Amino acid sequence: MADLTAMTAAIDRYLATAGRGVLLPLLHALQEEFGHVDPAAVPLIAEALNLSRAEVHGVISFYHDFRSTPPARHIVKYCRAEACQARRGEPIEAALNARLGAAMAGGQVAIEPVYCLGLCAIGPNALVDGRPVARIDAAAIERIAAQVTA
Ligand code: FES
């Protein structure tokens, strides 16, 4: 005779583990399909994976790459780590923010911080729609602006 109590406990343990194991891939899939993880999806995810809403929300809010609102059309990820900061990163970032301010207000562009892109020797750096831009200066800012406001 099977031990139903033990089997139920084993199934629960498995589902709990699988639920945590599939949460990140599921969140990535939703963001890939919809551009963000809508807060309305949190209870649906929680129920599907047998997790609490707080657990799901906690994972979404912990990882900065997950968005809860639709993204801007263009994303500029600007490096704020030490090596880029030491290469005039802060005033260059201010100039970039000023140049793209109108486009950011219109939701066309968003500037997001990143902390090292692995290009430390040629900073300050950014990723513009996923493509690296190094040695950012005034001319590079104009090229970036032309690209993301076209
Ligand atoms: S510190 Fe900016 S790329 Fe490494």
pLDDT tens sequence across 122-139: 999 999 999 999 999 999
Q: Calculate how far, in angstroms, residue 89's C-alpha sits from the geometric centre of ligand 1.
A: 10
In contact, 36 and 71? CB cutoff 8 Å: yes
Mean pLDDT of 29-45: 90
Q: Calculate how far, in angstroms, residue 60's C-alpha sits from the geometric centre of ligand 1.
A: 25
8-17, 19-28, 32-41, 52-61: segment of lowest average pLDDT: 8-17
- Whether ligand 1 lies within 6 angstroms of the CB of 83 is answered as yes
pLDDT of residue 147: 96
H or E segment to which residue 79 belongs: strand 74-79
pLDDT of residue 34: 87
pLDDT of residue 129: 95
Global pTM reads 0.71
SS3 78: strand
